[in-house]
Amino acid sequence: MQLQAVAAGVADIRKLGADASARLKYYQQKTLLFVDEVHRFNKSQQDVLLPIVEEGTVILVGATTENPLYEINNALLSRVKLYVLKGLDDAAIAAILDRALTDSERGLGEYGISLNDPARQMIIENAKGDARTALNILETLVNSSDTSRPLSISETDVALVVDRPRLQYDKKGDLHYDSISAFIKSIRGSDPDAAVFWLARMLEGGEDPVFVARRLVVHAAEDIGLADPQALLIAQAAAAAVEFIGMPEARIPLAEATLYLAAAPKSNSAVTAIDEAMAAIRKGPAVNVPAHLGDASHSRARACLGKGQGYKYPHSFGGYVAQEYLPAEYQGCQFYHPGEHGFEARVKRFLEQVKKLKVKPE
């Protein structure tokens, strides 16, 4: 039996289950169920299908172009085996083209078509591993030509049909997530060539440039941080430029920011510091702001509540004075661990000097 996920409803699945159950009961035959575009099933449909598969009433075969890990619920996934189909290699596409040209019954063999090697290679390159695309190109060439006499197809003919290579990309599926992951990891790994390659791959595929710009801003703070504080400003400027000018010109500021970030020194101390501090707060005791750090802007705050009493203004002591800023429950904790690269190396040296000056407050 076959179901189109886009057309089948809950009632259709229940009826299919009842029919399959009857077939098993009276004829001892299981039902093989093929569901095309299985990722189109919503949660309710999947919940109805689950017990039918679980009981062994049907053998489910689902086909999808999306990542089932994101689209199919875990209960249903746990009861099936996942097979990933890869794109065809060049040799396979070439074999399919040759078979289509020579098969008189199901192909184009009756027309006596010849395809030179450069033309064949151009079709293969534009197919990007998709046999259907290769055959569509070939069919378009034949349909737009005079087939009353032997037809010879050249690379010039192919170029008129394909115009520019079709790039396989999905803005909500695996290629979207895998490409942005490869992009960020290339920047983090300080490989500008790989980073700009993945940027081009996403933009050519139709990725939203605003999405890329947002990831650049996050990455500038997360993986470069204080090693080069300028990186965040450049990423923000690129994001603003993308919003202001749009594509295709936006590719240029995106490329500039990408290359800058890839070539910048790296430090994740900012994200580590905030995550460690937040984890300490979640696990630790409730605290109050120490009185000397409290807001003393109200005229009676100091006298009535003791706020601000004992606070030492650093500028009155030459820029630094030993003083405790953490609440008593967290004194001695260190969340920020400066790195050794770029500007942060200077920050580290400064904080080491401050640490030497620090003594137990009075």
How many Cβ atoms are within 10 Å of 240's Cβ, its own excluded?
Answer: 12
Q: Do 121 and 152 contact (CB within 8 A), yes or no? A: no
pTM (predicted TM-score): 0.62
Whole-number Cα distances in Å, 211 to 52, 176, 329: 40, 11, 41
Mark 185-194 as b/e (b = at least 16 C-beta within 10 Å): ebbbeeebeb
Q: Which domains does the chain have, with CATH numbers?
A: 2-77 (3.40.50.300), 90-162 (1.10.8.60), 174-263 (1.20.272.10), 269-357 (1.10.3710.10)
- What is the average pLDDT score of the chain? 87
The per-residue pLDDT for 231 is: 96
pLDDT tens readout for residues 123-159: 998 888 889 889 998 988 888 777 667 788 888 888 8
The per-residue pLDDT for 230 is: 95
pLDDT tens readout for residues 260-319: 999 999 999 999 999 999 999 999 888 888 888 888 888 787 878 888 888 988 999 888
